[in-house]
Amino acid sequence: MDWELYFKNIILERGYDYYQMNAVEILNASKNAVEANVTGRASYDVRISLKDDNITSMYCSCPYEDNCKHLAAVLYYMDNHPEIFSKDNNIRDLVYNVSLNDLQNFLIEEFENDNGLLNRFRIFADLDIDENFYIEKLKNSFSKPVNIIRFTEEDIPFLIKSNHFDLVLKLSKLMVDYLEEIYNYDYDAFYIILHKLDTIMIGLFNKGYEKPVLDFLADIILNSDNIEILDMLTDTYSRIGDVEKLFEDNLKS
């Protein structure tokens, strides 16, 4: 990854200093994202999203308006500690070497302590899920933008893949309301989440959920007062529907 091209030289120098000062704490790392805390004068949340070893988005909770030293520090850490991405290649052996009874008891105990895992298993087993769990999880994530970004990259794709389209639209409406709130104080998060919404809508549309998606977008386009939300979702609509007809029909009504 030639990520250094996206940073000013002075920011790279400061980021490397932070890395060398052990200011980076990796919280989670996978092939899809790295989350970390970087501590200097204050502690900031960092999330770097990945796809096929390429960076798709970067977020830091600090007030700097461009790619910052905290992001650079985490990227230096990633370059110098590839072991954070290492996976146990013997997962299949681990599972097969446990008796069925022990595995069932383990899952029961985990389900009792982890509603998220329980709901994922319900989806896997084609059982009804607890929609309120995801709604409350999203609402609880509003305290930190980095948690919303994680939700859009992990929970939402899982729900789309498992065909829970109505729930995804409910969650998307909550995210639109949240965007209205954070627009004036965290533009970086606003921008990333807004682009995630675009991806969510296209994903739902491509799954055959066409009319509800167009109706959802139309309602926001015709009622939102936020010009950036309006512009982005109008562009989304134009790629999957007839946006000129939408405005013409609205003028007639």
Tell me the pLDDT tens digit for each residue of 149-164. Answer: 999 999 999 999 889 9
Determine how many CB atoms are found less than 10 A away from the CB of residue 139: 12
**Cβ atoms < 10 Å from Cβ of 172:** 22
Instruction: Give the number of domains in the chain.
Output: 3
Using CA atoms, how far apart are residues 182 and 15, in angstroms rounded to an integer? 27
Report pLDDT for 155.
92
Secondary structure (3-state) at 67: coil
**pLDDT at residue 210, as a whole number:** 95
What's the average model confidence in pLDDT over 41-63? 93
Please check the confidence at residue 89 and state whether its pLDDT lies above 90.
Answer: no
pLDDT category at 130 given cuts 50, 70, 90 is confident
More confident residue, 90 or 57: 57
Give the whole-angstrom CA distance, residue 94 versus residue 114. 21
Domain finish residue from 85, 110, 140: 85
pLDDT at 171: 97
pLDDT at 65: 84
pLDDT at 123 over 90: no
Does 241 lie in the same domain as 190? yes
Q: Is the pTM of this model over 0.85?
A: no
Domain boundary, last residue among 85, 101, 118: 85
Residue 232 pLDDT greater than 90, yes or no: yes
Residues 58 and 19 in one domain: yes
Whether 115 has a pLDDT exceeding 90, the answer reads no
Tokens matching residue 89: 């290649």
Joined tokens for residue 177: 């309301």
Fill in the amino acid letter for 69: K
Mean pLDDT, the chain, integer: 91
Q: Which domain holds residue 92?
A: 88-129
User: Average pLDDT of 120-133?
Assistant: 84
Q: 149 and 183 share a domain?
A: yes
Same domain, 149 and 245: yes
